[in-house]
Chain A
Amino acid sequence: MKKSNWLVIIAGVAVGLAALLLQKLGNPGNMGFCIACFERDIAGAVGLHGAAKVQYVRPEIIGIVLGAFIMAVAGKEFRAKAGSSPALRFVLGAFVMIGALVFLGCPLRMVLRLGGGDINAVVGLIGFTAGIVIGILFLRQGFNLGRAYEVGKAEGAVLPIVMAGLLILFLAVPALFHFSEEGPGSKHAPVLIALVLALIVGALAQKARLCMVGGIRDTIMLKDAHLLWGFVAIFATVLVGNLMLNGFHLGVAGQPIAHSSQLWNALGMVLVGWGSVLLGGCPLRQLVLAASGNGDSAVTVFGMIAGAAFAHNFGLAGNPDSTNEAGELVVGGISAYGKGAVIIGFAVLLAISAYCTFVKQKKAEVKA
């Protein structure tokens, strides 16, 4: 096996182990990491939405960004760049977030859910792959969000600085933030452990270019399974770990923070796969790119946080399956507004894909 494959496998195993440990130490089920859910929790903690059950300053997001930043600087890979359709990226980021919250997880959490025996995540994976294929069709036709250009170092360091500031305020003045007293936001591993594990994960994700979208995209488009090894390594680690720790529960209904409304599980993840291909990487990769100096990815992350606020202010996010007082299963799902948001998301992604594939290309030909 090639040396570069080993690096991505090691990074995948480390992510899987960190996820298992974080779950064991208090994070919600199958949610050692979830970039979408944790950015949503941060949005709630700073008052961008009022969903009381999902508010917490997740050290995992802060740690991933700072770990990737440190690795990028140490490896001389920090390059401040911006200017590649930032406003479109903001919109794409928001709809990727809405799709993820309809499914109840980003692509990374989808892998963790698969490793926990959640069959709803298989449906999510099918939708995710379908979305990636749609994105590839546009890439092959010439889809392009345009070039980024060198900018001042401060522009490239915006997200690491924001995250460092958030960490300082969280530790020094916690009263500033909203914290859930029940629900997923109230379940978390100790701050310091979560931060340290995320620093390691961020550093490894930067070095190995870990990307949940990239693995499937490159395998289909380039016949290059390099990044897919990371995906497989995370899944295998979590699967084995859950089997050893009695955390594997094969089933559909009643899975931790998941719903069994399969059509919307699939469609939510189509939106995530398609949008992430257009953005050049999954939500985890966007954090890492932003930490490596990419201002456009920082805008994407802010778009995702704004999308999370919309998702909870307008009731677009999925409702997990739950049990009532009599101990009966109450099947979750998504609201009519959530379904409408997914359909609007498809229209928006189609418009952006078509514009950046055909209209921009035609304009460039006329110029030439």
Chain B
Amino acid sequence: MIDARGLLCPMPVVMVQKEVKKSAPATIEVLVDDPCAVDNIERFAYNNGYKAEVTAQGSEWKLTLSK
């Protein structure tokens, strides 16, 4: 699970990109609390062949990216 809470864009999506480059996992879970990060990671997922599922958890979001 990538914990990108409290990080401003583009840090959350950079963390996801690093994970994809490192091991191209089939599933990636990311925790964010910035609405802009949700948009960016969803777009990154779409551009890189992942499906993104977004679950709101109070003031945070959990994104599950899967191939």
In the complex, the answer to whether B14 meets A221 with C-beta atoms within 8 Å is: yes
Q: Nearest residue in B to A279 (C-beta to C-beta)?
A: B8
Are A144 and B11 CB-contacts (below 8 A) given A77-B35, A209-B36?
Answer: yes
Is B57 at the interface (CB under 8 A from chain A)? no
Instruction: Please measure, in the bound complex, the distance between the C-alpha atom of A275 and the C-alpha atom of B43, giving whole angstroms.
Output: 25
Contact check, A280 vs B10: say whether CB atoms are below 8 A apart.
yes
**Cβ contact within 8 Å between A79 and B59:** yes
- Complex interface: chain B residues within 8 A of A226 (CB): 43
Check if B9 sits within 8 Å of A214, measured CB to CB: yes
Shortest distance between the CB of B10 and any CB in chain A (Å): 7
Contact of A281 with B by CB under 8 A: yes
For chain A, residues 69 to 92, give those with C-beta under 8 angstroms from any C-beta of chain B.
77, 79, 81, 83-84
With A79-B59, A226-B43 already in contact, the answer to whether A147 and B13 are too (CB < 8 A) is no
Shortest Cβ gap from B62 to chain A (Å): 17
CB distance from A88 to the nearest CB of B (A): 13
Q: Answer yes or no: B23 CB below 8 A from chain A CBs.
A: no
Number of contacting residues on B, CB 8 A?
Answer: 20
A367 within 8 A of B: no
Interface contact A218-B10, CB-CB below 8 Å: yes
A363: interface (CB < 8 Å): no
Q: For chain B residues 10-54, which have a beta carbon within 8 Å of chain A?
A: 10-11, 13-14, 17, 33-36, 39-40, 43-44, 47
* Contact between chains at A281 and B13 (CB < 8 Å): no
Provide the bound-state CA to CA distance between A160 and B43, in Å.
Answer: 30
Cβ of A222 under 8 Å from chain B = yes
Query: Is A139 part of the contact surface with B, judged by Cβ < 8 Å?
Result: yes
Contact B44 A224 (CB under 8 A): yes
A79 and B33 within 8 A (CB)? yes
Whole-angstrom CA separation of A118 from B34 in the bound complex:
37
- Please measure, in the bound complex, the distance between the C-alpha atom of A280 and the C-alpha atom of B9, giving whole angstroms: 6
Q: Is A48 an interface residue (CB 8 A)?
A: no
Question: CB of B7 within 8 A of chain A?
Answer: yes
B50 to A: closest C-beta gap in Å? 13
Residues of chain B with a CB closer than 8 A to A147's CB: 5-7
| A209: nearest chain-B partner, CB-CB | B36
Complex interface bits, A200-234 against B, C-beta within 8 A gives 1, otherwise 0:
00000000010000100110011110100000000
B4 (CB) vs chain A CBs: closest residue: A147
Out of A4, A77, A140, A148, name the residue touching B6 (CB < 8 Å): A148
**Which B residues lie within 8 Å of A221 (CB)?**
10, 14, 17
CA distance A257 to B10 in the complex (A): 33
Contact partners of A84 in chain B: CB under 8 A? 6-8
Beyond contacts A148-B8, A224-B43: 5 other A-B pairs, Cβ-Cβ < 8 A, are: A84-B7, A147-B5, A209-B39, A222-B10, A222-B13
Return the 8 tightest CB-CB contacts between A and B, nearest first.
A147-B6, A280-B8, A148-B6, A77-B35, A209-B36, A139-B14, A280-B9, A147-B7
